[in-house]
A and B are shown apart, each in its own frame.
Chain A
Amino acid sequence: MTDTEKIWLKKSQEGDIESFEKLIAKHQRNVYNIAYRMMGNEEDAKDAAQEALIKIYKSIGKFRGDSGFSTWVYRIAMNACKDELRKKKHNVISLDKEMETEDGTLKHELPDQGLKPDELVEQAELSETIQDAIGKLPEQNRMVIILRDIQGFSYEDISDVMEVPVGTVKSRISRGRKLLKDVLKQHPKWSYEITV
Chain B
Amino acid sequence: MNCKKCNEQLSLYLDQELSPAEKVQIDQHLESCEACRKEYNELKTVREMLKELPMKELPEGFEAELHEKLVQAKEEVQEQPQKENMVVHLKDHFRRNVKRYSIAAAACLVLVVSYESLGPLGMITSKNATMEMAVEYDDSGMTQAAPRLTLESSSDEAFSDSVDTFNLKVGTADVDGAAPMESEEALPEVFAGGMAEEPAQEVPSVAVTAQNAVPETHRKIIQTGYLSIDIEDYDATLENIIDMTQKMGGYVEDMSTQFQYGYRTENPLKMGHVTIRVPQVQFQGVMRSLDEYGQITDQNMSAEDITYQYRDISNEVANLEVREAKLREIMEKAEEIKDVLQVEQELSRVRGQINSLKGTLIQWDQLVSLSRITINLYEVESLEVKIEPIDNSLLTRIKEAFIRSINNLKYSLENLTLILIALLPFVIVYSIVGFIGWRILRRIIRWVKNRRK
Contact = CB atoms under 8 A, between A and B. Distances in A.
Interface of A: 15, 17, 20-21, 28-29, 32-33, 36-37, 42, 45-46, 49-50, 53-54, 57-58, 61, 126-127, 130-131, 145, 148-150, 152, 155, 170, 173-174, 177-178, 180-181, 184-185, 193-194
Contacts of A37: 53
B122 to A, nearest CB: 46
A28 B51 CA distance: 19
Contacts of A46: 59, 62, 65
Given A53-B66, A174-B8, A28 B58 contact: yes
A165 B11 CA distance: 17
B70 A21 contact: yes
Nearest to B47: A149
Interface in B63-104: 63, 65-67, 69-71, 73-74, 77-78, 85
A32 B50 contact: no
B77 A126 contact: no
Interface of B: 8, 10-12, 14-15, 17, 41-43, 45-47, 49-51, 53-59, 62-63, 65-67, 69-71, 73-74, 77-78, 85
A152 B47 CA distance: 11
A193 B51 contact: no
A184 B49 contact: yes
A130 B53 contact: yes
Given A50-B66, A150-B51, A185-B42, A32 B58 contact: yes
Contact of A21 (B15, B43, B47, B63): B63
Contacts of A173: 11, 15
Contacts of A131: 53
B74 A15 contact: yes
A54 B66 CA distance: 8
A54 B12 contact: no
A17 B46 contact: no
Q: Chain B interface mostly helix, strand, loop or mixed? A: helix
Closest 9 CB pairs of A and B: A174-B11, A149-B50, A181-B46, A17-B70, A54-B73, A181-B42, A36-B56, A33-B56, A50-B66
Contact of A177 (B47, B55, B77): B47
Given A21-B67, A126-B49, A174-B12, A33 B55 contact: yes
Given A17-B67, A21-B67, A177-B11, A150 B50 contact: yes
16 contacts: A21-B70, A28-B58, A33-B55, A45-B56, A46-B65, A50-B66, A50-B69, A54-B66, A127-B53, A155-B17, A170-B12, A177-B14, A181-B43, A185-B42, A193-B45, A194-B45
Most chain B Cβ neighbours within 10 Å, of A45, A131, A177: A177
Contact of A145 (B50, B58, B71, B85): B50
Contacts of A174: 8, 10-12
Q: Chain A interface mostly helix, strand, loop or mixed? A: helix
Given A57-B73, A150-B50, A15 B56 contact: no
Most chain A Cβ neighbours within 10 Å, of B43, B47, B59, B66: B66
Contacts of B15: 148, 155, 173
A170 B43 CA distance: 15
Nearest to A126: B49
B43 A32 contact: no
A35 to B, nearest CB: 10
Contacts of A32: 56, 58-59, 62
A141 to B, nearest CB: 12
A24 B10 CA distance: 36
A54 B67 contact: no
B58 A180 contact: no
B163 to A, nearest CB: 28
Contact of B77 (A42, A58, A127): A58
Contacts of B12: 170, 174
Nearest to B9: A174
Contacts of A184: 46, 49
Given A15-B74, A174-B8, 17 more contacts: A21-B63, A29-B55, A29-B56, A36-B56, A42-B56, A49-B62, A50-B62, A53-B66, A57-B70, A57-B73, A58-B73, A58-B77, A145-B50, A150-B53, A173-B11, A177-B11, A184-B49
A65 B49 CA distance: 35
Contacts of B70: 17, 20-21, 53-54, 57
B43 A17 contact: no
